[in-house]
Amino acid sequence: MLIEREEALRLLSEAADRSVRARGEVLLVAGEAGIGKTSLLRHFVDNLPPLVGSAWGACDALFTPRPLGPLMDMAPALGPECQSLIRGGAEASDLFLGLIDAVERQNDGIVLVFEDAHWADNATLDLLKFLCRRIMALRALVIISFRDDEVGPDHPLTALIGDLPSRAVTRVELSGLSPEGVQ
């Protein structure tokens, strides 16, 4: 059960509805560690309409990051063509186009979750920039979650966010629960 997240769920639902009906959007879900970003997004994805697809990928706090780790996580949900590109060691540009093709094949739209983007490697940041700069031509909702207290002015994610098409971006900033919510 989610407590005091009705407004965030409303923003997520409205963005998903707009993005699968008309033009794609990007949702930035920010908050400190442990605030409930993952729980919110899991609840949201678990309650999508049956025909709307979803794919989930995570960035990891590794000393040697997995290049394009989130895309590798998402590949099974994106179809055999995307999986073949990844397994075949395709160049990044071909993988990026393969993701666009996979999104376009989703007749009823798709929600793509990129979790913990504050740990994203450079290839994943490039993928996000490529995808999000084309988002308004797609029927997709791209959700990027991150710890805002770990993303300062010099963080690469800050530069990425600054490059996103502002009219396609919605921010959802999670705050702590009220004393009543904690009880």
pLDDT tens digit sequence for 57-77: 999 999 888 899 999 999 999
Q: What DSSP character marks residue 115?
A: E
The string of DSSP letters for 134-182 reads: TGGGSSEEEEEEE-GGG--TTSHHHHHHHHS-GGGEEEEE--PPPHHHH
Who's near 41: CB < 8 A, 6+ residues apart? 12, 29, 113, 115, 143, 145
pLDDT at position 181 over 80: no
Mean pLDDT over residues 98-126, rounded?
Answer: 94
What pLDDT does 50 receive? 84
Is 175 exposed, middle or buried, given 0-12, 13-18 or 19+ CB atoms closer than 10 A? exposed
What does the pLDDT look like over 117-137, one tens digit per residue? 999 999 999 999 999 999 999
What is the reported pTM?
0.92
What does the pLDDT look like over 34-59, one tens digit per residue? 888 998 899 999 988 888 899 999 99
